[in-house]
Amino acid sequence: MMTRDEHLAWCKKRALAYLPDNPLEAMTSMGSDLKKHPELENHIGLAIMPMFYGAHNDERAVRHWIEGFN
């Protein structure tokens, strides 16, 4: 199993690969992948994810959301 930091880096890399063409898929990927690690499955960033769905077409906002995870 990957460490928390390794898994988070993997999540970010996969999600960012969808940008700039598909910001919504980037968000979906990030949310789904975070839930695959026990230390990240309840990350606070997932709680605010619904707030970003209004900005799901804003590549810059989605990139900021993804890169802001720690």
Question: Domain ranges in the chain?
Answer: 4-67
* Per-residue pLDDT reduced to its tens digit, 28-58: 999 999 999 999 999 988 877 766 666 677 8
> Is residue 27 within 8 Å of residue 15, measured between CB atoms?
yes
Can you give the pTM of this predicted structure? 0.88
In the predicted model, what is the mean pLDDT of residues 20-32?
93
Residue 55 to residue 42: CA distance in whole angstroms: 22
In the predicted model, what is the mean pLDDT of residues 4-11?
98
